[in-house]
Amino acid sequence: MKYKFYTEQTLESWNQVAEIHQRRNPELLKKASASDFNALEVEFNRLVDAQNLDSASVVQVCCNNGKDLLSIKNKGAGYCLGIDGSDKFIEQARALSQHPHYTNVQFETYNIYEIPERHYERFDFAVVTVGVVNWMPDLPRFFEICNRLLKPGGALLMEEIHPVLNMYQEGSPSKIAYSYFNREAQLDTDGLDYFSGEKYDAEPNYYFQHTLGDILTAAIASGLHLQTFEESASNIGNYCKDLADAPHSLPMAFIASWRKG
């Protein structure tokens, strides 16, 4: 089970950075207490608002600290489940959800490749927000799991960094330094503080470059039918920020929706 080595090592790295991320967001706990709390990126928020969320069941795959799922809950969703492999981030998600308006919300810790079958076909919507796909060593299986979580006719909503952006190395200016087609596991030991780049004795993590074709093919092969796809020049990943202001825009993000047949 090749995925276990990569995911388990990377989850150690995410657990390590969880406390740093929490310190970077000192106001988040207070903000999440509001019944109109919404932390979604602008374009993904538009995609979510185009759905019928009234009492719908929603699962977020790789939910991190749960802020995006709680934002969707505040839009009228019914039962909401957040799943992440990092127990430290799940602790943060549970703390954010301790307010009366977050009823029928749960958070559970599983390696994404090992979500139990009792959750299959339970949800009207599955949600994946920025910073998930690149950590997946087995992309077809990842989409297969997303599909299995959905009821027949359910929808997968995704917001992600555009694969083209992964070719760039941060700098002044940021520049192309990596192959678009290098699908080998990439070792990183610089840490995962993408807010301010704090340096610490980081556990190694592994990430993967999946092309746009890889992503679309894996989703379609799982049985999902593409409904909408939109590329964007928005900097949703806090990476190579200077490129967002470049005179000639490149695709930095995308949003997509799929329907289970």
Q: What is the 8-class DSSP label of residue 111?
A: -
The Cα 145–Cα 69 span in angstroms is 18
Q: Which residues, including other chains, have CB under 8 Å from residue 190's CB and lie 6 or more apart?
A: 199, 202
Angle between helices 87-96 and 2-24 (to 10 degrees): 40
DSSP conformation letters of 138-169: -HHHHHHHHHHHEEEEEEEEEEEE-GGGGGEE
pTM: 0.96
- pLDDT tens for the chain, 261 residues long, are 678 999 999 999 999 999 999 999 999 999 999 999 999 999 999 999 999 999 999 999 999 999 999 999 999 999 999 999 999 999 999 999 999 999 999 999 999 999 999 999 999 999 999 999 999 999 999 999 999 999 999 999 999 999 999 999 999 999 999 999 999 999 999 999 988 888 899 999 999 999 999 999 999 999 999 999 999 999 999 899 999 999 899 999 999 999 998
The Cα 151–Cα 31 span in angstroms is 32
Q: Which residues, including other chains, have CB under 8 Å from residue 145's CB and lie 6 or more apart?
A: 61, 112, 113, 115
The Cα 43–Cα 61 span in angstroms is 19
Token pair 């301790």 is found at 98
Q: Give the Å distances, CA to CA, from 36 to 39, 68, 151.
A: 10, 12, 28
pLDDT of the residue at 1: 61
The domains of the chain, with CATH numbers, are: 2-260 (3.40.50.150)
